Structure 1
């Protein structure tokens, strides 16, 4: 154990908070919470006999720790969920989903409310319905309601008085409150009908419409009666499609799981007003040594820490792992909902049947996903075998590395290295390089530099690992490829092979990929290898090439943007890194800074009026110079940014 880590263990606080374990590279590998940090953290470093294999592997990699003290265990729970989402630690169960679900919003805070789709819940006086898992279903609902009820769709919150209504009024899709064609009371009655529909009170709404239709017919208002009749028919068609799954008409989330090999599928059904409005599934990995209660607990904490809506009742297949944890999570949910929330584990009756239905769906979803994963795995592995056959290799090229160069007129030259293993991308092994020794647009020399640096690092790391000075898990370049592909023709290939020979790695098979025809060139074969159109091998090569190009272009654009920002602000006397960062953070861009006033710039932390005047003089002077330069000459042509695709 590191001496620094031992010292930190001695001085741990006996207060609630969050602890973060870090590896040798300083990466956060685990985040946890505790009601007593001293007792919880020290428990990891006691006898290994009481630890699971996964926890033992975690402890073996801990080189540093950080603690954050909170005022309560509830604050620690919230902070733990946020840190897990931020750092994505290797040894935490991860809910890998950042979806935001759509809601329907009735803008009751407006004089004449509207019906809108939103993905954000706010305390603004509006009434929200959802969440819905299908955007298409939400749009269909909105379209249905706008057909049934002629409410306004204009974008203004409060209406301006108009002399003439818009086209929607003339085609019967709006009551034209903007032109005073409808009393507010009548309009709000219609809004009440919409809310009743969204709350699941279709029977009540149907009876109300039936009564209005009969009254209109008795008053000889046959056109209005026919309109109401059409609304009733449309409503009945919707009611036939809806499935009531909860007899108590409650808002519920029903959560169950199914286990596979080192994989869990958690399924959640959304029940609103007793009706199933949608469902979603999540795949959790690294769960083999965790019991079912641990998995459900981790899911509940992470899921509800990031979703906007908490229903009144949550039905779980398994109990929360401890009574203390359940009490804490319930407090958290009630605080988020600002109302009562119950967590239940049904043992009998209709609610147990709901759990069983969700569990069956979770198992079916898991089986479908695993079958799809197996199918994709077979396809990618077969693509690797096809590539071996077409290239005449002795062994399947399990690990393939592809290199690409990107620059603009030789400026900000960068290179990408992407890695595919077993025919699938291994993004954790992707690397990017900033060209250091080459001036101007010289792709051949740039490729030689990158290959030299890549394989020099491989040799250095291999020696460090052999000497015991480097953990093999931390050796980023020591794993060698079975096949190297350089994006370019014979010129790039020749440069790459010369560089690889110079560092002793020319025994690795290498091909150049010509861009126009996607032909593969080998140094000992004057004729290209042409992969058959439609073959799995060609598809694999195209995927690898496109990924290398994307990765290089992304890095190049990032550096180019940084360079443009730096050139605009860094040359101004008195504007150092701190002030530059403060200005960009406050205004968002150099363009916005140039458009600001002296007073606005001076109000930024660290700025003065004198500095503000200097910044504006430089930026606005640069803009005027750029404007004066418009003499009709053609813009300079752009150099290669990865080549024509």
Structure 2
């Protein structure tokens, strides 16, 4: 039964679908609420099965009007995070992260905060390991004599300094033995260390240690030496990956049919801070672009600390860029940033393979689906080629790859019957036309033609409509990809896994066609 769709405004906003029990089952955003919500019922037969199931369950629709699409995107992310509807993309991390926090008190403390708990102050992290975060805090307290007590210093009477002060581990702000300016300088030192910038503090400690040694204050010199060693241990925990001291996150994305792993490699002041993994379930066949956008908004929009740059595997939408400003979203093309982005991508796939119990599919299939805008993963790829000399003994070959591996049992051979003379393009057309008459051979997810625009233009009209979005021509000379309806070709990096897979299949069908031609030629002679 269709819910009441009357009086839905045509403004931007967020809509919510409720089931008969009153639970939110889906939250979405729209540039035009009226058009978007009605489209689910008006185009019901064209929806994917999962979306049809969702619409059957939708008993009520509610909406919230906002001023801009960017506001809608941010509101959508906040509501999804709050309600976690079953049909939405909801981030799930492998464990609760731990943050290091410099509290917002007049004389701040440095503490660790676990999970979703938030306290006022500057947050650093998150850290995947609570033990690692606690070790950093312990080392910071060895380096900087900051208070650890939870007392309200404004209410303390005189004479109540604790043992930490007498042991030299705290400078006694409770007894006003250190002023706020001097104390905040120590806090700034701690902040610099947590950002990965240890050099200024090391230089200062080295200078003070040498001065103490020259004046024969050897106990003070030894104390400073020990603090320097503790500081170096913190520094050693952070791998140097860049001479450029920027705060950057590198995102890797391993996209699967039902779930995706997103990896965040955190670089702070040129040092690797940590690597986080998130698992995203997607039930409505969302594309990798939709998954990435939802992740970026949910992960960064309300984060307690954000980097200046987020480097992505592919471009994000303009709405996401606006929503996360001033954070810069970019796709690295070369150099160190591209290498780190590729490393994040590799880590995402490694984690994906660990998380999934089924045999993993080659990453190249996901790349091909994205690059060629295919309706589904190309688990069955068919490649075609023609072989003849001057039109004589003309034959064709079909090679099949299943889940990225060549499957000789599915190969097929064709003797060209209707084309005479040297016309490879029309021969290709005949072969594909005959292929469409064999539904028992299986449904292809991708058709690869050995050739360019001429082959593509000639073959396209004879294909069933459902196949016309699943075809690509691969030209030999420049390794260009041609798609129907596009004037410009697509060029992949020569070492791209997707191009290497297409090459392997193209070379296999080329060899198969030549072998069959030679066999026919010998038999005729």
Do structure 1's residue 68 and structure 2's residue 54 form an aligned pair?
no
What pairs with 1:314-463 in structure 2 (closer than 5 Å)?
Answer: 314-320=310-316, 326-334=317-325, 340-371=326-357
**Cα displacement (A) at 1:48:** 5.1
**Cα displacement (A) at 1:228:** 1.1
**Cα displacement (A) at 1:86:** 4.1
Give per-residue Cα distances to partners, 1:27-51, cap 9 Å, x unaligned: 4332211121112122223345653
What pairs with 1:209-288 in structure 2 (closer than 5 Å)?
Answer: 209-286=205-282
How far apart, in 2, do the equivalents of 1:12 and 1:184 lie?
Answer: 56
- Going from structure 1 to structure 2, the CA distance change for 1:368 and 1:219 (only over 3 Å counts) comes to same
Kindly indicate whether the alpha-carbon contact (under 8 Å) linking 2:266 and 2:274 is maintained by their aligned counterparts in 1.
yes
How far apart, in 1, do the equivalents of 2:294 and 2:194 lie?
Answer: 32
**Cα displacement (A) at 1:24:** 4.8
**Cα displacement (A) at 1:373:** 11
Q: Secondary structure at the match of 2:61?
A: strand
Kindly indicate whether the alpha-carbon contact (under 8 Å) linking 2:77 and 2:294 is maintained by their aligned counterparts in 1.
no
Do structure 1's residue 176 and structure 2's residue 167 form an aligned pair?
no
**Cα displacement (A) at 1:214:** 0.9
Name the residue aligned to 2:109. 114
How far apart, in 1, do the equivalents of 2:30 and 2:179 lie?
Answer: 59
Q: Secondary structure at the match of 2:5?
A: helix
Q: Secondary structure at the match of 1:80?
A: helix
Name the residue aligned to 1:89. 85
Do structure 1's residue 46 and structure 2's residue 42 form an aligned pair?
yes
Name the residue aligned to 2:134. 139
Residue 193 (structure 2) aligned to one of 174, 179, 197: 197
Give per-residue Cα distances to partners, 1:524-556, cap 9 Å, x unaligned: xxxxxxxxxxxxxxxxxxxxxxxxxxxxxxxxx
Kindly indicate whether the alpha-carbon contact (under 8 Å) linking 2:311 and 2:330 is maintained by their aligned counterparts in 1.
yes
- Going from structure 1 to structure 2, the CA distance change for 1:288 and 1:355 (only over 3 Å counts) comes to farther
- Going from structure 1 to structure 2, the CA distance change for 1:289 and 1:121 (only over 3 Å counts) comes to closer
Kindly indicate whether the alpha-carbon contact (under 8 Å) linking 1:243 and 1:276 is maintained by their aligned counterparts in 2.
yes
Q: Secondary structure at the match of 1:256?
A: strand
- Going from structure 1 to structure 2, the CA distance change for 1:161 and 1:293 (only over 3 Å counts) comes to same
Unaligned stretches of 5+ residues in structure 2:
361-525
- Going from structure 1 to structure 2, the CA distance change for 1:333 and 1:250 (only over 3 Å counts) comes to same
- Going from structure 1 to structure 2, the CA distance change for 1:50 and 1:247 (only over 3 Å counts) comes to farther
**Cα displacement (A) at 1:359:** 1.3
With 126-135 and 34-43 compared, the bigger mean Cα shift is at 126-135
Considering Cα pairs closer than 8 Å and 6+ residues apart, tell me whether 1 or 2 has the greater RCO: 2
**Cα displacement (A) at 1:156:** 2.0
How far apart, in 1, do the equivalents of 2:161 and 2:328 lie?
Answer: 49
- Going from structure 1 to structure 2, the CA distance change for 1:316 and 1:219 (only over 3 Å counts) comes to same
How far apart, in 2, do the equivalents of 1:309 and 1:373 lie?
Answer: 37
Unaligned stretches of 5+ residues in structure 1:
321-325, 335-339, 375-645
Kindly indicate whether the alpha-carbon contact (under 8 Å) linking 1:261 and 1:288 is maintained by their aligned counterparts in 2.
no
The structure that is strand-richer by fraction is 2
Aligned-residue RMSD, C-alpha: 3.1
- Going from structure 1 to structure 2, the CA distance change for 1:245 and 1:203 (only over 3 Å counts) comes to same
Give per-residue Cα distances to partners, 1:446-499, cap 9 Å, x unaligned: xxxxxxxxxxxxxxxxxxxxxxxxxxxxxxxxxxxxxxxxxxxxxxxxxxxxxx
Kindly indicate whether the alpha-carbon contact (under 8 Å) linking 1:264 and 1:287 is maintained by their aligned counterparts in 2.
no
Kindly indicate whether the alpha-carbon contact (under 8 Å) linking 1:130 and 1:272 is maintained by their aligned counterparts in 2.
no
Q: Secondary structure at the match of 2:29?
A: strand
Kindly indicate whether the alpha-carbon contact (under 8 Å) linking 1:100 and 1:307 is maintained by their aligned counterparts in 2.
no
Structure 1 length normalisation: TM-score?
0.50
Kindly indicate whether the alpha-carbon contact (under 8 Å) linking 1:22 and 1:30 is maintained by their aligned counterparts in 2.
yes
How far apart, in 2, do the equivalents of 1:164 and 1:84 lie?
Answer: 49
Structure 2 length normalisation: TM-score?
0.61
Give per-residue Cα distances to partners, 1:388-430, cap 9 Å, x unaligned: xxxxxxxxxxxxxxxxxxxxxxxxxxxxxxxxxxxxxxxxxxx
- Going from structure 1 to structure 2, the CA distance change for 1:259 and 1:129 (only over 3 Å counts) comes to closer
Kindly indicate whether the alpha-carbon contact (under 8 Å) linking 2:51 and 2:284 is maintained by their aligned counterparts in 1.
no
Name the residue aligned to 1:102. 98
Aligned length, in residue pairs? 357
Q: Secondary structure at the match of 1:45?
A: helix
**Cα displacement (A) at 1:164:** 6.5
Q: Secondary structure at the match of 1:83?
A: helix
- Going from structure 1 to structure 2, the CA distance change for 1:152 and 1:82 (only over 3 Å counts) comes to closer
How far apart, in 2, do the equivalents of 1:292 and 1:19 lie?
Answer: 22
- Going from structure 1 to structure 2, the CA distance change for 1:25 and 1:127 (only over 3 Å counts) comes to closer
**Cα displacement (A) at 1:180:** 5.2
How far apart, in 1, do the equivalents of 2:7 and 2:181 lie?
Answer: 67
Kindly indicate whether the alpha-carbon contact (under 8 Å) linking 1:81 and 1:301 is maintained by their aligned counterparts in 2.
yes
How far apart, in 2, do the equivalents of 1:130 and 1:294 lie?
Answer: 26
- Going from structure 1 to structure 2, the CA distance change for 1:156 and 1:247 (only over 3 Å counts) comes to same
- Going from structure 1 to structure 2, the CA distance change for 1:174 and 1:22 (only over 3 Å counts) comes to closer
